[in-house]
Structure 1
């Protein structure tokens, strides 16, 4: 009987040990990372819907000045005259500032005295050479000294001219960095001049519409500041290379008006030549991938990304018209395409 109890006790201990080991195994398996065989990628989506693109078929940009430059002296020293203030109109060639040139004038005066002495020596040597009283080499040396002194005088006169700082072109003083009495070195900016006699409206044009613009083409420009005024512009530059979003900067030059004066930084807009009638199925520009010849986008279907070929029509700054490959209500991916492949599971945000 005693042996039976011992045997049963051993069996019970083994059973408890086995149960404990099994429980530990289950807990360990729960802690082990098991990769998701179908991971989901977070993306941003938008709904393809009908839009009246004819109301949005324009492009917005901002005006840049025709010319803008920092005025920097070609000589260093103390500023003894400063003839401009911020906001002042200046003409091309007008004196902006004057740097002290007193010492340079003294040096020119000393060299002129030296030059006069050499010229007098030359006359005497020429007379003595005729009588064979001095060698001809003295004449040659004196002539070289005269030429050297004249060159030094020219150099100093150039430095004196550089102490007068003039406006490189007509415009408005938009910044002043120094005051009268300041000591500046060569190349230190002392003022900024901006020319807004004409302005450049810079507009980013989508790839689909960039061929509407040619250098020299006349185009009408409108502004929010003067909603009833029409400005005549001329295309002066079409960028040869676009940015990552396939936008191409186009520059349109507009002559400023005294009746409706424009300022740099103002907004301007131009109308698109694209003819869009009524409503059209459209998606945000960020949804379109690929090239102009083969545009594509991802559509979310049953929780998965499906790559589709589409055909695009008119464009605006914000939207592409979709003429084929999509229907109203489809969810299109606008952000996160780089992480997608055809059939990837997604979480729409």
Structure 2
């Protein structure tokens, strides 16, 4: 019987040769989903939380010295222009006013008498002039005291909100002492934060406002945007100027709507864009194989990124099935998304 060993060795070698021949174990094409790109103009609508802020505060000070009798407001209260905020004891000023009124009445009588005496050529013109001057002085003193008494009723110079009480009833205050801190109601602003990549579009956005109950408060415009102090947050501080005065206190919560029409161009899902040491790229289908294409990108909106350079309309970009895919791999399209 012949030895079968040489045949077995030959068969094993032949099998090994077949295994290394090209195409003996050709890889199956990768199944991918693609998007045939075309220019589009995405619409973005964001709902952002915000709050009402005042550009600054104004100190309310006394104009007359005296004991503080009352303070009619508390921190957080809203006040109207001209509303009484506090009252200073005016007892001494009123006593002085009574004296000034008596002096003015006496001066009126003196002038009247001098005018009658002049008719009889008893009083001289100089005496009449002195009497008239004395009356004018008495009238001025009375007017000054009335003004000082009015100043003991401290009133709001503008509509706003009380931030802090700085003196309490019973305190003896001098002129120009601090009494209250107010925030003006006019000039109120609204602030919020947006992703930093939306800053270039913020000035073209349409901004709308709603109060906490959902009631519309009109539109607003961007006043400024500045990068956040924490760079890692990737946010921008936005301040808006309402189109009309807000009847809300500073610190009130508010809902902000941001509507943006993005620039026309090719927009791809973020999942379709890769990044490595050579920069950002996408994988496209070219003659049944995956091909890497370098791209330049712009802002990101609603999960899509603008491709500003590198792609032409009609290119089929792989958007799913990218895991482990390399340039030159054979691909088979099993799903093709229409232009969104």
Q: TM-score normalized by structure 2?
A: 0.54
Q: Report the RMSD for the aligned CA atoms in angstroms.
A: 4.6
1:65-117 C-alpha deviation (Å, 9 max, x unpaired): 59965433332321022233345555553322111212212222222222222
Aligned to 2:242: 252
Q: From the superposition, tell whether residues 231 and 273 of structure 1 become closer, same or farther in structure 2 (CA, over 3 Å).
A: farther
Distance of 2:172 and 2:49 partners within structure 1: 45
Alignment correspondent of 1:312: 298
Is the aligned partner of 1:139 residue 2:139?
no
Change (3 A) 1:115 1:56: closer
State the match for 1:209 in structure 2. Answer: 201
TM-score (structure 1 length as normaliser): 0.53
Return 79-88 or 134-143, whichever deviates more.
79-88
Q: Give CA deviations for 1:286-319 in whole Å, capped at 9, x if unaligned.
A: xxxxxxxxxxxxx9559xxxxx995524558xx9
**Alpha-carbon shift at residue 166 of structure 1 (Å):** 2.2
| Corresponding position: 1:233 with 2:217 | yes
Partners of 1:66 and 1:198 within 8 A in 2: yes
Deviations 1:157-188 (A, max 9, x none): 11110100123455654422211111223333
Work out whether 1:323 is the aligned partner of 2:310.
no
Stretch of structure 1 that moved more, 89-98 or 125-134 = 89-98
1-structure distance, mates of 2:107, 2:124: 17
Distance 1:254 1:127 in 2: 64
Determine if contact 1:62/1:267 at 8 Å carries over to the other structure: yes
Find the aligned partners of 2:183 and 2:246 in 1 and give their Cα distance.
Answer: 13
Structure 1: 5+ residue stretches without partners:
1-52, 284-298, 303-307, 330-349
Using the alignment, how far apart are the partners of 1:314 and 1:236 within structure 2? 24
Specify whether residues 282 and 154 from structure 1 end up closer, same or farther in structure 2 by C-alpha distance, changes over 3 A only: farther
Whole-Å separation in 1 of the counterparts to 2:305 and 2:237: 16
Aligned residues of 2:67 and 2:173 also touching (Cα < 8 A): yes
Pairing of 1:1-349 with structure 2 (within 5 A)? 57=46, 61-64=50-53, 69-88=58-77, 90-169=79-158, 173-193=162-182, 200-203=189-192, 206-213=198-205, 219-221=207-209, 230-239=214-223, 243=226, 249-252=239-242, 264=251, 266=253, 268-274=255-261, 279-280=269-270, 301=278, 310=296, 312-313=298-299, 321-324=305-308
How many matched pairs? 243
Is the 2:46–2:257 Cα contact (8 Å) retained in structure 1?
Answer: no
In structure 2, the gaps of 5 or more residues are 1-41, 229-235, 280-293, 312-318, 323-340
Question: In 2, Cα distance between the equivalents of 1:88 and 1:269?
Answer: 25
Which secondary structure state, in structure 1, belongs to the residue aligned with residue 136 of structure 2? helix
